[in-house]
Amino acid sequence: PARQRDVGEVGRRAAPSRRGMDVVHKSKVTPPSVSQGLTAPQRASILMRMEANPRTRRLAKDLRRAMSLPEVLLWVQIKGRRLDGLLFRRQHPIGPYVLDFYCEAAKLCVEIDGAGHGAGDRPERDERRDGWLADLGIRTLRLRAGYVLGEMDGALAMIRAALRGEP
């Protein structure tokens, strides 16, 4: 007899095991908050957009090794579920982008913006990126690097407010 698949489980069937039960290999599944009410092609489209390509993954790995001082200081405060028990990832690749910090449970991206984010075409690129993330249901909180350095308690309070959904 074949084993019953759990709701939301995706996989391919393997050869029967010694006990006669089919084994299901799990793969990544779209989070329920994103996939509710969507058709299968829409869910597939979201998964393809969220999946980072190998180049973006390598970039994220390099960025983890070369974090700026404000990023390192903030990471010390939020890593290991230290901020309200929520898990944050640092330099998290998603689609074509690398997010400074990402909390999947709250669908919140925290970006630390240095002086370069106000110059040239950077504000337009940031706006385009924030829109792309918003289409996936991810909110973006932008904090100035100088603010994080000088007012860590204030920066953490702003992150907590964003986690609660406050503007």
Stretch 10-30: mean pLDDT, rounded?
38
| Distance set, CA 49 to CA 18, 94, 133, 140 (Å) | 39, 8, 10, 17
pLDDT the model gives residue 13: 38
- Of 109, 75, 117, 113, the C-alpha closest to 92 is 109
Q: What is the mean pLDDT of the chain?
A: 79
Helix count and strand count (H, E) for the chain = 7, 6
pLDDT in tens, 68-116: 999 999 999 999 999 999 999 999 999 999 999 999 999 999 999 988 8
Question: Which residues does 59 contact at the CB level (< 8 Å), separation at least 6?
Answer: 93, 98
Task: Check: pTM over 0.75? Answer yes or no.
Answer: no
Q: Is 126's pLDDT higher than 70?
A: yes
Place of tokens 């792309």: 132
Task: Quickly state the pLDDT bin for 26 (edges 50, 70, 90).
Answer: very low
80 DSSP 8-state letter: G
pLDDT the model gives residue 52: 83
